[in-house]
Amino acid sequence: MTFDAIDMAGNKARGKRPTFFKDTDTDRLLSILMALAGELAVARERIDTLERLLEARNLLKQTDIEGYVPDTTAARERGLWHQEFIARILRVVQQEIEQFDEDREAQQQARRENVSASTELEELIEELASS
């Protein structure tokens, strides 16, 4: 008897899956987001278990964690960690802002070289293929 427990766990239930949002992409994204939120909760619970076990074995007190003050080096490293973490989560916003610059540059180039100002990939593929 061989099973792929990972695939089988995720099997679809028979019966068409309902969607709730105007755009079904939102339904899909929310499913992924909630799965991620669940896994984050699992990781937090595991850390909590660790802290409690360490305390029970007198290796650490949870008050030590609450009272911990980072020194300058640690504070800088943590700050950078936070910044990277936030940048990862908000990548899509960063890229949306960068698109403004890309559009402006494309327009300038279009004026200079008499080419399409579009940065739509489909149009670019067509343009490249026909030029």
Partner 1 sequence: MANTDRQVPPAWNAVGRHGVFPEANHDEIARFNFLTNLNMHLASRVLPGVRKAYDKRIEGTTAPSSRREVGELLRREPLYQLWSSLRRNTMEMRQQNSRAMVFRQLPDLIEKARQLNDGHDNLQMNPAVEIPRYVSAVDTHCMPGSYHTEYCDDDVAAGANYDSGIFVTTAGMLGRYSDGGGQALVEWLREEAKSGYRPKRILDIGCTVGHNIVPLAQAFPDTEILAIDVSAPVLRYAHARARSLGIDNITFRQENAESIAAEDGSFDLIITCMFLHETSNLALPRILAETHRLLANGGKVVHIEQPQFTPDMPPYEQFMRDWDTRNNNEPFWGTLHDLDLFEAMAQAGFARENITTRNLFAVVDETLFPSAAKAAADSEDYGRKPAWHTYIASK
Residues that bind partner 1 in the complex, under the rule CB under 8 A: 1, 3, 5-6, 8-15, 17-18, 20-21, 26-27, 30-31, 34-35, 37-38, 41-42, 45-46, 49
- Torsion angle, alpha carbons of 36, 38, 44, 48, to 10: -160
Measured from the CB of residue 33, what is the shortest distance to partner 1 in angstroms? Answer: 9
Which SS3 state, helix, strand or coil, does residue 57 take?
Answer: coil
Nearer to partner 1, 46 or 78 (CB): 46
Measured from the CB of residue 11, what is the shortest distance to partner 1 in angstroms? Answer: 4
Measured from the CB of residue 50, what is the shortest distance to partner 1 in angstroms? Answer: 10
CA distances from 130 to 32, 106, 119 (A): 40, 19, 16
Q: Tokens representing 79?
A: 């700050």
